[in-house]
Amino acid sequence: MGRMYTAVIDGISVSAVADLFWLAAPADACVVVHEIVVTQDTSESSEQLPLNVFRTATDNSGNGTANTPAPLEVGDPAFGGTVRTNITGGSLSAETTMLHRESQNILNGWHILPTPECRIVLSPSGRMAVKLDAAPSAALPISARIVFEEIGG
């Protein structure tokens, strides 16, 4: 087993289509995604919104907000790749290979917990994004997490 990390979004306001997470594996390690959770904090309005998970060639390492994943094991080194959050506008990642698409009532949130055989694996220097693919009718305070494993490095 590799080193486990979690990247967290804590109550950001989302009012447009956005890459909630953009993750790039380090050049010398693979990344395995174990879990993706996206919730909203205060909305009481029912609204159906789609979430896409896809591989991308887009380099968003300088866009959105920097996110420092936390190791789940005390003493593990910092994640060797890059995580960015809340990327909007012209910086959105280009969808190359769709890996998961799910529409969900925003009141329920999304919880993607693939079986081991179905986990997303990024090769060294591979990239992926988790995209809110439709603008909410009003700004939503979004919280989210992605749990992943770095193997190698």
Query: Distances in Å between the alpha carbon of 60 and those of 32, 49, 56, 84, 151?
Result: 19, 23, 10, 7, 22
pLDDT per residue as tens digits for the range 24-63? 999 999 999 999 999 988 877 788 999 999 999 999 999 9
Beta carbons of 144 and 8 less than 8 angstroms apart: yes
Question: For position 64, what pLDDT does the model report?
Answer: 95
- Domain limits of the chain? 3-152
Distance CA 83, CA 65 (A): 9
Question: For position 53, what pLDDT does the model report?
Answer: 97
Beta carbons of 119 and 35 less than 8 angstroms apart: no
Show the low-confidence residues of the chain (pLDDT under 70): none
User: Does the CA dihedral 69-114-122-53 come out positive or negative?
Assistant: negative
Q: Which residues pair with 130 in a beta bridge?
A: 21, 53
Question: For position 153, what pLDDT does the model report?
Answer: 74
Beta carbons of 51 and 38 less than 8 angstroms apart: yes
How many CB atoms neighbour CB 152 within 10 A?
Answer: 14
CATH number of 3-152: 2.60.120
Question: For position 105, what pLDDT does the model report?
Answer: 87
